[in-house]
A = this chain, B = another copy of it.
């Protein structure tokens, strides 16, 4: 089973906390909005603008991304948890 996100939505597999420490990203334990890390599983075709254009997302399948803790909506597909969020909720791509 597969999810094809609509518009500018992105399907993300969250990376667990242990894995995060390993990769060097540590989420500080404060009251602030905490960023999260995940892998992009599927990318929507892009948001359609009023003028009929499509804004193609700049992230792609396999990208490792940072996003806000409260971004998106949880879904479970075949027993696995995923997140569907708008591309705008993604803060950046982790490289290297």
* A interface residues, Cβ below 8 angstroms from B: 1-7, 9, 11, 23-28, 30, 32-35, 42, 44-45, 48-53, 55, 58-59, 66, 68, 73-79, 81, 84, 87-88, 90-96
Name the residue on B nearest A46 (C-beta). B48
A-B contact pairs, 11 of them (CB 8 A): A3-B95, A4-B94, A6-B87, A24-B79, A27-B76, A33-B73, A35-B84, A45-B58, A48-B55, A51-B51, A66-B84
| Residue among A75, A79, A84, A90 facing the most chain B CB atoms (10 A cut-off) | A75
Contact A2 B94 (CB under 8 A): yes
Q: How far is the CA of A75 from the CA of B34 in the complex (A)?
A: 8
